[in-house]
């Protein structure tokens, strides 16, 4: 049985759909490979300690660190490049960023 397509096949044969399927483009990288290592954890914790509220909405629940200039655009894991946002504001900002809006 093909677990992906849920079809039965005789023993010793494989799914024809899986054999012709396009392989994945890339495997996702781990957090440390993307730049979120121990140094980032320390900087994020320090930023939250210094500013214990979301910069956008003011809540103190579920806080995260957010890079002002993203790592993929040359940003760094330093305190001056990190702002504190709650998870919902950080997600909204990321979605807007992908649509071309920047703030």
Q: Is the pLDDT of residue 50 over 90?
A: yes
pLDDT tens per residue across span 12-46: 666 766 665 555 565 667 777 777 788 999 999 99
Q: Is residue 29 part of a domain?
A: no
Write the CA distances from 96 to 51, 72, 84, 102, integer angstroms. 24, 17, 17, 7
Residue 11 has pLDDT above 90, yes or no: no
Query: Is 57 among the domain residues?
Result: yes
Distance, CA of 79 to CA of 65 (rounded, Å): 10
Q: Is residue 32 part of a domain?
A: no
Name the band, by pLDDT with cuts 50, 70 and 90, for residue 54.
Answer: very high
Is 58 a residue whose pLDDT tops 70?
A: yes
Q: Is this prediction's pTM over 0.85?
A: no
% of the chain exceeding 70 in pLDDT: 69
Does some domain include residue 13?
Answer: no
Measured between alpha carbons, how far is 92 from 35 in angstroms, rounded to an integer? 21
Q: Residue 59 falls within a domain, yes or no?
A: yes
Q: Percentage of residues in the chain with pLDDT exceeding 90?
A: 38
Q: What is the CATH number of the domain that holds 77?
A: 1.10.30.50
**Residue 101 to residue 103: CA distance in whole angstroms:** 7
Residue at 10 is within a domain:
no
Domain boundaries, position 90: 38-103
């Amino acid at each position: 049985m093909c677990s992906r397509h849920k079809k039965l096949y005789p023993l010793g044969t494989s799914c024809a759909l899986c054999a012709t399927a396009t392989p994945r483009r890339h495997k996702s990288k781990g957090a440390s490979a993307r730049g979120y290592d121990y140094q980032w954890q320390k900087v994020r914790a320090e930023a939250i300690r210094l500013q214990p509220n979301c910069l956008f909405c003011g809540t103190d629940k579920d806080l995260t660190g957010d890079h002002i200039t993203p790592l993929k655009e040359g940003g760094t894991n330093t305190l001056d490049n990190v702002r504190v946002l709650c998870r919902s504001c950080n997600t909204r900002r990321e979605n807007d960023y992908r649509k071309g809006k920047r703030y």
